[in-house]
Amino acid sequence: GAGVSQSPRYKVAKRGQDVALRCDPISGHVSLFWYQQALGQGPEFLTYFQNEAQLDKSGLPSDRFFAERPEGSVSTLKIQRTQQEDSAVYLCASSPRPGNRAGNTIYFGEGSWLTVV
Amino acid sequence: QQQVKQSPQSLIVQKGGISIINCAYENTAFDYFPWYQQFPGKGPALLIAIRPDVSEKKEGRFTISFNKSAKQFSLHIMDSQPGDSATYFCAASMGNDMRFGAGTRLTVKP
């Protein structure tokens, strides 16, 4: 497809379970971002990749969160030992050029809705 | 730390009216200010954006007003339509870091 694709769209995990969320960015896009959006809140930055390099992971809330983009295309966000406070929508976004700058439109996917029970 | 404050939390406007959403930021290093529109079950989509060297930008019915000295910016939606009903997020960006406001849920009544 032409847009950012995320899977699964919905995931229910038992507390303590590991989950993996996949993002297929728009083909050829250099930048890839992960955001966490709690219910009724704005997205919060988690991590940023420029091609395969993870240049910024300052937003990852704990060492249970891990992201990778090994070939500079598909990315996976992994959450280990999930907890109830991890329940949120995880948004992936990509853009054709590096960073968040004027003229570098960022395209969001529809998100992966994670519920931890 | 909330670096971008957005108000109001919700807004109801009659069809044809003007919708106004306000944002304030703290960090003067931000150099790009986009607005996103989000429909239920969808990801945010870029609506309009402005740089701090411009005081106003207009695209169709959407206008951003930017006040650099006050560190405030706002979105005006003219002739609001029911199809504009969505959640709107302001954001402020520098480098790789983009901070979002908490969102405004806009309802346009027919």
Question: Among partner residues B93, B95, B103, which is closest to A42 by beta-carbon distance?
Answer: B103
Q: Give pLDDT, residue B97.
A: 82
Of A98-107, B15-24, B41-50, B85-94, minimum mean pLDDT range: A98-107
Angstrom distance (rounded) from CA A47 to CA B89:
20
CB A43 within 8 Å of CB A37: yes
**Cis previous bond, B8, omega within 30:** yes
- For residue A99, the chain B residues in CB contact (below 8 A) are 95-96
Residue A99 pLDDT more than 90? no
Residue A105 pLDDT more than 90? no
Q: Give pLDDT, residue B107.
A: 98
Closest approach of B29 to chain A, Cα-based (Å): 13
| Distances from the Cα of B108 to the Cα of A106, B12, B25, B60, angstroms | 27, 6, 27, 18
Residue A104 pLDDT more than 90? no
Q: Give pLDDT, residue B2.
A: 61
A103 CB-near residues (< 8 Å, 6+ apart) = none
What DSSP element (H or E) covers A67? strand A65-68
Closest CA to B33 of B61, B65, B62, B11: B65
Residue A43 pLDDT more than 90? yes
- Residue A28: other Cβ atoms inside 10 A: 8
Summarised one tens digit per residue, pLDDT across range B54-109 is: 999 999 999 999 999 999 999 999 999 999 999 999 999 988 788 999 999 999 99
Closest approach of B41 to chain A, Cα-based (Å): 7
